[in-house]
């Protein structure tokens, strides 16, 4: 595996796992006022399309990273609606 | 341009522009308590690496989307530190 691919994998891992501390914090605080609903909706839609793109080009890393992020963002979106 | 590439472009545009309503909301509210600092730091680092990856594979859409998102996330990070 060459360096370029490794950098891509690290980048994808960072952006995906970044949502874990956010979900934990939101779950604990039960507060979502500071979040923009439009941001969460647009981001979730983007993640879905990235997953579709990954399926299309048959790229497992793109599918995996985006489906996990989509799940985490969906959970944030649910909390945003629940704890408004 | 085939459908796959168009889906990729729409996905990238959605995830990038999603940060615009967030930056506007945070700028207006001047409140960032609900945000996880770890999330912003990890996400910003991920964006930088995605930009590096884009330069490496010589992909303008990857460079453009990620550098814009990086700028928006950096602005959120600055507000997170300023309005803690």
DSSP per residue, B3-45: HHHHHHHHHHHHHHHTHHHHHHHHHHH---TTS-HHHHHHHHH
Contact between B49 and A6 under an 8 Å Cβ cutoff? The reply is no
Contacts A57 to B, Cβ<8 Å? 4
User: Tens of pLDDT along B1-21?
Assistant: 788 889 989 999 999 999 999
Pairwise CA distance, residues A26 & B78, whole Å: 20
**Host H or E run for residue B46:** helix B37-56
C-beta atoms of A19 and B39 within 8 A: yes
Pairwise CA distance, residues B30 & B83, whole Å: 6
**Domains of chain B, first to last:** 3-82 (1.20.1280.290)
Q: pLDDT band at residue A5, thresholds of 50, 70 and 90?
A: confident
Angle CA(B78)–CA(A74)–CA(B12) in degrees, nearest 5?
65
Of A13, A38, A52, nearest to B7 by CB-CB distance is A52
> Chain B: nearest CA to A38, how far in angstroms?
6
ipTM above 0.95? Answer: no
Contacts B50 to A, Cβ<8 Å? 8, 11-12, 15
User: Tens of pLDDT along A14-66?
Assistant: 999 999 999 999 999 999 999 999 999 999 999 999 999 989 988 888 899 89
Residue A1: the pLDDT is 73
> Chain B: nearest CA to A64, how far in angstroms?
15
Torsion of CA B39, B45, B46, B50, to 10 degrees: 160
* Alpha helices, H only, chain A: 3-17, 19-29, 37-56, 60-82
Of A10, A34, A46, nearest to B35 by CB-CB distance is A34
C-beta atoms of A53 and B8 within 8 A: yes
């Amino acid at each position: 595996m060459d360096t370029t691919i490794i950098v891509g994998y690290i980048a994808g891992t960072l952006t995906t796992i970044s949502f874990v501390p956010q979900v934990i914090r939101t779950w604990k605080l039960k507060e979502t006022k500071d979040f923009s609903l439009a941001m969460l909706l647009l981001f979730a839609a983007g993640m879905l399309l990235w997953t579709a793109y990954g399926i299309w080009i048959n790229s497992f890393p793109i599918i995996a990273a985006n489906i996990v992020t989509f799940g985490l963002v969906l959970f944030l979106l649910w909390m945003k609606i629940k704890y408004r």
